[in-house]
Chain A
Amino acid sequence: MTERVPVLRIGDVLLVSIQVDLEDQTVLNLQEDLAEQIVSRAARGVVIDITAVEIVDSFVGRMLATIASISRLLDAETVVVGMRPAVAITLVELGLSLGGVRTALDLEKGLALLRRAAADTDRR
């Protein structure tokens, strides 16, 4: 039985905090869980907190980019928060710059970014 990462909801934002060393299957489950919950809970934003994550390899990096793309199709914005400096250095050297993924330094800044994005959309 593969573990599942809990998905929390604050207002119209889904929050995922990754606290364990992720197995590939857990990563794939998370992708599906998030897609389903964005729709069922009518979420406008997703925050993925990787403060506790020591290693982001190409598989996890691709998962972050894929979740960002899926949520965009479902009318939600994704922000990855809390990336460690060593992880950022390693990802770039690995060749993954995660171009399409929005990031913020911490949860508070991530939520603020989503609020601004929502306000911009509402004005249009």
Chain B
Amino acid sequence: MNVPWAAGQVPRTQGIAQNDDVVRARQQVRGHAQQCKLSLVDQTKFITAASELARNTLVYGGGGEMRSGLVERDGRRGVAAVFEDSGPGIPDIELALTDGWTSGGGLGLGLSGARRLVDEFFLDTEAGRGTTVSIVKWSR
């Protein structure tokens, strides 16, 4: 992610190793989205995107962690979440970002849908090296 965490704010880490960690990740992100004073619709979009990505980390990445917190750039405030796993990685990024494509049993909306719900989306992955997805939503 090339967006800096807000000064004086330490991002919080949530491990993602089992089903209820997805719920915990959602709750942590909800707290940060409220702290950032996002509108209700923007909060809902951001938490939903985080929920998709947390599930991806668990199901496709074999578990990992999420860091989330407030970010700041050019005087703007936002909320960010970074999902990291050391799973198999994504060999074909373009394909993985296509609506309806899935390597598992899902709907294939996780990555592509999450990208539509946020303002900035960074995907860093390589086959065999794991995947890091970062998302940012700016306060309006």
Contacts and interface: CB of A to CB of B under 8 A. Distances in A.
A binds B: yes
Interface of A: 21-25, 54-59, 62, 84-87, 89-90, 93-96
Contact of A62 (B27, B107, B116): B107
Nearest to B59: A24
B47 A54 contact: yes
Nearest to B114: A94
B3 interface: no
Nearest to B27: A21
Interface stretch (B16-24, B60-68, B75-83, B119-127): B16-24
B29 to A, nearest CB: 10
B41 A21 contact: no
A96 B117 contact: no
B23 A21 contact: yes
Nearest to B51: A57
B116 A93 contact: yes
Nearest to B58: A24
Contacts of A85: 41
Contact of B22 (A24, A56, A58, A84): A24
Nearest to B100: A95
Given A21-B23, A21-B27, A93-B117, A58 B41 contact: no
Q: Considering residues A56, A57, A85, A89, which has the most beta carbons from chain B within 10 angstroms of its beta carbon? A: A57
Interface in B96-134: 99, 106-107, 109-110, 112-114, 116-117
Contacts of A62: 107
B9 to A, nearest CB: 24
Contact of B55 (A24, A54, A93): A24
Contacts of B45: 86, 89-90, 93
Contact of A86 (B30, B44, B55, B99): B44
B113 to A, nearest CB: 4
A38 to B, nearest CB: 24
Given A23-B19, A23-B20, A23-B22, A96 B44 contact: no
A94 B116 CA distance: 7
A22 B48 CA distance: 13
Contacts of B72: none
